[in-house]
Amino acid sequence: MNNSNYFEVLHKDKHTSARLGKIKTYHGDITTPVFMPVGTQASVKTLSPQDLKDNDVEIILGNTYHLYLRPGHSVINGLGGLHKFIGWDRPILTDSGGFQVFSHSDLRKINKDGVEFRSYIDGSKHFMTPELSVEIQESLGADIIMIFDEPAPYPSTYEYTLKSTRLTTEWAKRCKARHNKKGQLLFGIVQGGIYEDLRKNSIEDIVGIGFDGYAIGGLSVGEGKEQMYQMTGYTAPLLPSDKPRYLMGVGTPEDIVRCVSMGVDMFDCVMPTRNARNGCLFTSNGKVNIRNARFIKDENPLDPNCNCYTCKNFSLAYLRHLFVSDEILSLRLNTIHNIHYYMNLMKRIREAIVKDRMSELVKNLATDFH
């Protein structure tokens, strides 16, 4: 695959910044806007690869930090790479491990060379550098990999965020210098917290280095919803229009619709799978708490407007029974539905863009995605 012609914008919505596109990778094409289910430890929890394919999932996300600790990238590489290891022949994106190191703040120490951290599994000490992060991701064989960054927590002072953003830039240069796997796309990550001038500086620095795509990092880490929208709306238009734009760790159906209208192409979040395991299901009539006692004799499907395996075959009464009985099948059926909901949401978004009706989708957020 030639990295120079891997992304194409197919259509731009006339009334918003939304765009329909296609990313070409070694393991197939990805139609954007796209949502990537999170498979942290080489598995989208409770689902098989076939379940994902049955629900039209084009790309999944794996986590460098977790796979480095267990079973180890050299083990996976020796077994033929991540695709073969998990039985998935479609694209995979791996994050760099930066966010996981950030989220285990009590177990890590940051310096200019990298991050020293202790394993959450056994307490063993490790040192992650930008070079090692790229080495791991190359060994895993992902189609799209991310630079190693240092996301500033929220809230952070201007001074801390400035230091963090500059460190991310230096690490980005090192990742770019280390990366040499042909056909593998390397994305840069823009930081800057909630400070527009730092975001602008980060964009100039990261784009100046030159990457195959650009991610907006450091959001959805505790800031308010309006702050997240403000920063996304400010950052996305400043990113190159001929490269994919990826908003990391976002989000709700409403978040996705709004941010697509701002020009974002790629999303990931644990929300559909985690909510499913907690009994919270997304439907065309709003969220459903499946443990609710009012479903105990309800013969209706979860969502009459959904054609997923769960809704076509099982009643609300049965889904509730499985959940309150702690049956493993409950987690799988709930997750199948939520993933289907998200994939169908992305289809609706892409159709709206083609018809230049994205603004209508945004306008109807309160009724369609409540």
Query: Do residues 211 and 186 make contact, with C-beta atoms less than 8 angstroms apart?
Result: yes
C-alpha 77/C-alpha 67 separation (Å) is 11
d(CA 22, CA 161): 34
C-alpha–C-alpha distance, residues 174 and 155, integer Å: 27
Paired residues of 109 in beta bridges: 116
List, as one string, the DSSP characters of 130-149.
HHHHHHHHHHHT-SEEE---
Q: Which pairing describes strands 266-269 and 28-32: parallel, antiparallel, or unpaired?
A: unpaired
Go through 268-282 and write b for each residue having 16 or more CB atoms within 10 A of its CB, e for each that does not: bbebbbebbbebbbb
- The answer to whether the Cα torsion of 114, 205, 18, 225 is positive or negative is positive
CA pair distance 175, 148, nearest whole angstrom: 7
Q: How many C-beta atoms surround the C-beta of residue 35 within 10 A?
A: 24
Contacts 24+ apart (CB under 8 A), 51-55: 51/332, 51/336, 51/339, 52/88, 52/339, 53/90, 54/309, 55/308, 55/336, 55/339, 55/340, 55/343
The tokens describing 18, both together, are 């939304």
Phi, psi for 30 (deg, rounded to 5): -120, 125
- The catalytic residues are 95, 268
Query: What is the spatial distance between Cα 167 and Cα 205, in angstroms, rounded to a whole number?
Result: 11
Residue 165: Cβ within 10 Å count: 25
Q: What is 303-317 written as a DSSP string?
A: -TT--SHHHHH--HH
